[in-house]
Chain A
Amino acid sequence: MQYFNQTLPLAFLKADRNGEILSYSTLARDSFDLSDGNLKGIIDEESIEKLVHYSRGTGMEPVKLELNMKTKDAPLALFDVHILWDSDDCANMIFLPKDSSNEVLMNKLLELQGRLASTDFELLEKKEELEQVLIRLNHLSGPFIPLSESMCLIPLFGDITADKINVISESCLKSVFAGEYGEILFDLTAVGEVEDKGIEKFTQLIKTLNFMTGSIIKLIGIKPNLAKVLNNYKLDEWVQLDQSLKQVLSFYLDRKEQGAS
């Protein structure tokens, strides 16, 4: 093993095909413990196979390999190793330590990934929360109000969507079934937009109520936009229409007064 007295800016080693080190530069001597005299002494166990199999390229081209090396400072350090074989079948190797600034970038990347991940999950959580709120909102958009033993009122609030009517239907059918109502009033005064699917569901609900109880079903407070849509569904045979709740109630109260007098 020969000391190679050239001032090189990187560690240099020359080794034969068995890994015996033939010569070394100053920096190589300073970086690695060369007392073994063999490359196996300075390369991490699990990198040796890689060196053995991939240190030769095609022809005389230099080869670049990433290897884990044992240095005097660290028991495991990553190097780019550039290898060129000469005509004596010896490997000329230059060792370029992997820049640790890479590490900083990788850590930053990891941090960003972590943040993205948590944001992603927070969004997902918010979305689920929102879904719950919407269901709750739908529940509250069609309260069931018993007005008397024989009359109940279900005012609908907001847009008529299929989801909303589905949610309302369930509680509405249950409540109606539990009492004995001769008249069921739907107040549509507070309805905003109407979806076709929503109206379909609503029609189904009315028919179901009709079959179930045979009660009189009244729709109250139909606005022009709603009237146009409802017209397509031929509801006349199922429902009676009234202009306002006030009208229905005054009629009802009159009837009561008359009955009383």
Chain B
Amino acid sequence: MQYAETLASFLLEGDSAKVWEHLQKHRDLSRLEVYQNLITPAMQHIGFLWETNKITVADEHLATATCDFVLSKLAYSRDKIESGQKAMFLCLDGEQHYIGLKMVNSLFEENGWETKCFGPSLPLEYALKTAKEWKPNVIGLSVSIVYHLPKLKEYAAECAKLRHKPAVLLGGRLAGKYDLVPYCAEGTVILRDLLETKEWLQNYQAGGQQNAIF
């Protein structure tokens, strides 16, 4: 937890150089481990600080922006392998918590996927328009605020109706916290954290029956 607190304090200071330096101390970790064991706990700790009235939403915004910058730097790599698979990622309309989504996006990129990451708050109509034109193999949805849950049903249902039948994944803070099955459509895969996402990805690439696990 101490690591998370240190990293969280750098993020809240908006000091991307310090954050980067801190992450560089753990060069032996894979990118997934950096996300899962360092960044996620730090961002969760920042949420906790708001809940305990230590920081404001403005502080959270700064931390998010700093984190975003560092994630981009982390994900930047010149060796681009190509798997020929396409995936698009988006947060439901109004949902501003996109750091998790961005990490998932970069996991897919690392595995050679061509991706479009729309980040926070994408209205359903835009999502569907892109999905129909670009025909991604995977559509990843993210939701973190309970209030946005009712919209999820519509997003999941509409994505499931797409003619080219993409795999629809659902993640975000709520996926690990509540049972979201009632809000999903048939075939929606709920991924509770990055490890599950990685496993799903490996299964998908191995051509396994990814839905059978869940």
Give the B-binding residues of A (Cβ under 8 A). 44-46, 49-50, 53-54, 65-66, 75-76, 78, 98, 102, 106, 109-110, 113, 116-117, 120-121, 124-125, 128
Of all A-B residue pairs in the complex, the 9 with the closest CB atoms, nearest first, are A54-B53, A106-B61, A117-B72, A113-B65, A76-B147, A113-B69, A66-B56, A50-B51, A117-B69
B53, A66: Cβ atoms closer than 8 Å? yes
| Docked-complex contact B76 and A124, CB < 8 angstroms | yes
* B161 interface contact, C-beta 8 A: no
What chain B residues lie within 8 Å of A113 (beta carbons)?
Answer: 65-66, 68-69
Chain B residue contacts of A124, Cβ below 8 A = 76
Shortest C-beta distance, A65 to chain B (Å), equals 6
**A46-B146, A75-B147 are known contacts; what are 14 more A-B pairs with Cβ within 8 Å?**
A44-B146, A49-B51, A50-B50, A54-B53, A65-B53, A66-B53, A76-B147, A98-B57, A113-B66, A113-B69, A117-B72, A121-B73, A124-B76, A125-B78
Q: Which residues of B, 117-155, contact A by the 8 Å Cβ criterion? A: 145-147
Q: How far is the CB of A13 from chain B (nearest CB, A)?
A: 19
A128/B78 contact (C-beta < 8 A), A44-B147, A116-B69, A117-B73 known: yes
Q: Shortest distance in angstroms between A116's beta carbon and chain B's nearest beta carbon?
A: 7
Q: How far is the CA of A44 from the CA of B52 in the complex (A)?
A: 15
**Nearest CB of chain A from residue B76's CB, rounded to whole Å:** 6
Note all chain A residues with C-beta closer than 8 A to B62: 109
Q: Which residue of B lies closest to A47 (CB)?
A: B51
Cα of A181 to Cα of B50 in the assembled complex, Å = 78
Which residues from B are CB-within-8-Å of A128? 78
Decide: A121 and B76 in contact? CB cutoff 8 A. Answer: yes
Answer yes or no: B206 CB below 8 A from chain A CBs: no
Q: Cβ of B1 < 8 Å from any Cβ of A?
A: no
Alpha-carbon distance A181/B86, docked complex (angstroms): 57
A53 nearest CB neighbor, chain B only: B52
Q: Determine whether B58 belongs to the interface, using a CB cutoff of 8 Å to chain A.
A: yes
A176 to chain B, nearest CB (A): 34
Residue of A with least CB distance to B50? A66
How many Å from the CB of B64 to the closest CB on chain A? 9
B73: A residues at CB distance < 8 A: 117, 120-121
Chain B hits for A78, CB < 8 A = 57
Instruction: List, sorted by A's number, 17 A–B pairs whose CB atoms are closer than 8 Å.
Output: A44-B147, A46-B145, A46-B146, A53-B52, A54-B52, A65-B53, A66-B56, A66-B57, A75-B147, A78-B57, A98-B57, A106-B58, A106-B65, A109-B65, A113-B69, A117-B72, A125-B78
- Bound complex: CA A124 to CA B66 (Å): 19
Q: CA–CA, A43 to B184, complex, Å? A: 27
* Neighbouring A residues of B58 by C-beta, 8 Å: 102, 106
Q: Which residues of A contact B146 (CB under 8 A)?
A: 44-46
Closest chain-B Cβ to A54's Cβ sits at a distance in Å of 4
Assess whether B147 is in contact with A50, with CB atoms less than 8 Å apart.
no
Q: Give Cα A49 to B53, complex, Å.
A: 11
Chain A residues, CB < 8 A from B76: 121, 124
Chain B residues near A98: list those with CB within 8 A. 57
**Cα distance A53–B48 in the bound complex, in angstroms:** 13
- Note all chain A residues with C-beta closer than 8 A to B57: 66, 78, 98
Chain B residues, CB < 8 A from A45? 146
Q: Nearest CB to that of B78 among chain A residues?
A: A128
Q: When the two chains form their complex, are residues A110 and B51 in contact, meaning their CB atoms are under 8 A apart?
A: no
Contacts of A46 in B (CB 8 A): 145-146
Complex: how many Å from CA A44 to CA B50? 14
Question: What residue in chain B is nearest A49 (Cβ atoms)?
Answer: B51
Report the bound CA distance from A186 to B107 in whole Å: 52
List chain A residues, Cβ under 8 A from B66: 113
**Bound-state Cα–Cα, A117 to B75, Å:** 12
Minimum distance in angstroms from B172 CB to a CB of chain A: 14
User: In the complex, A62→B39 CA distance in Å?
Assistant: 35
Of A46, A113, A116, most B-chain CB atoms within 10 Å: A113
In the complex, A76→B93 CA distance in Å?
A: 13
Nearest-neighbour CB distance to chain B for A67, whole angstroms, equals 10
Closest to B52 in A: A54
Q: Which residues of A have CB within 8 Å of B94?
A: 76
Give the chain B neighbours of A53 by CB distance below 8 A.
52
